[in-house]
Amino acid sequence: MTEIAKKWYVVRAVSGKEKKVKEQICAEVSRSDMENYVSQVLIPTEKIFQIRNGKKISKERSFFPGYILIEAALTGEVAHVINNVNGVIGFLGTEKGGEPVPLRLSEVNRILGTVDDLAEREEESVVPFVVGEIVKVSDGPFNSFSGIIEEINEEKKKLKVMVKVFGRNTPLELGFMQVEKES
């Protein structure tokens, strides 16, 4: 059997329900025996890191909220089946009743390249501390000591904290994960 020529399309979905819509599209494609026509269903996501209560939390956020990428050959009933999945608003670039417009190869490479870059890129986090803030050391030999932030190094994710040790101010270089906000 020869390979069916597939192109990338963008499907508009209910924002915030992308994962559920993707699952329903995949289920409907397999139920309708259309795996030969639809090869990939992707939700471009990026991993973001936040620091809450001194703990590092990883979350996935949709890179294009409300949009799902589909690599498919829209022949026969394929477009109709995808359009009728619960939560699908329609294909991007179509006029009412018109044919879905595929993405250009350069756009696909840029989007998928961006997604790959995001997967490989080191965590990006908003600096959760400010100079002059009082923090408590939660890790290391100075555990449970409190101090004042003197400097913040965003690239290295380090803080210079002044801690009183035996009545004398002592500078410590600590990582973001070694301190927590004083409550």
Residues 6+ positions from 125 with CB-CB distance below 8 Å: 48, 49, 50, 51, 56, 157, 176
Number of compact structural domains in the chain: 2
| Lookup result for tokens 């932030």 | 149
**Assigned domain for 148 exists:** yes
Judge if 90 and 141 occupy the same domain: no
**Assigned domain for 128 exists:** no
Check if the beta carbon of residue 69 is closer than 8 Å to that of residue 10: yes
State the pLDDT confidence band at 139, using cuts at 50, 70 and 90.
confident
**What predicted TM-score, i.e. pTM, was given to this entire model?**
0.58
Q: Give yes or no for residue 19 having a pLDDT over 60.
A: yes
Per residue in 98-127, pLDDT (tens digit) is: 778 888 888 888 877 766 666 555 545 566
| pLDDT at site 47 | 76
Judge if 14 and 48 occupy the same domain: yes
Judge if 54 and 13 occupy the same domain: yes
Judge if 150 and 108 occupy the same domain: no
| pLDDT at site 118 | 61
**Assigned domain for 107 exists:** yes
Domain that holds residue 33: 7-120
**Assigned domain for 2 exists:** no
The CATH number of whichever domain residue 81 belongs to comes to 3.30.70.940
Judge if 108 and 150 occupy the same domain: no
Per residue in 58-93, pLDDT (tens digit) is: 777 788 889 999 999 988 888 888 988 999 988 887
Residues 6+ positions from 180 with CB-CB distance below 8 Å: 53, 54, 135, 136, 138
Check if the beta carbon of residue 135 is closer than 8 Å to that of residue 159: yes
- The structure tokens listed for 56 are 């590092």
Residues 6+ positions from 183 with CB-CB distance below 8 Å: none
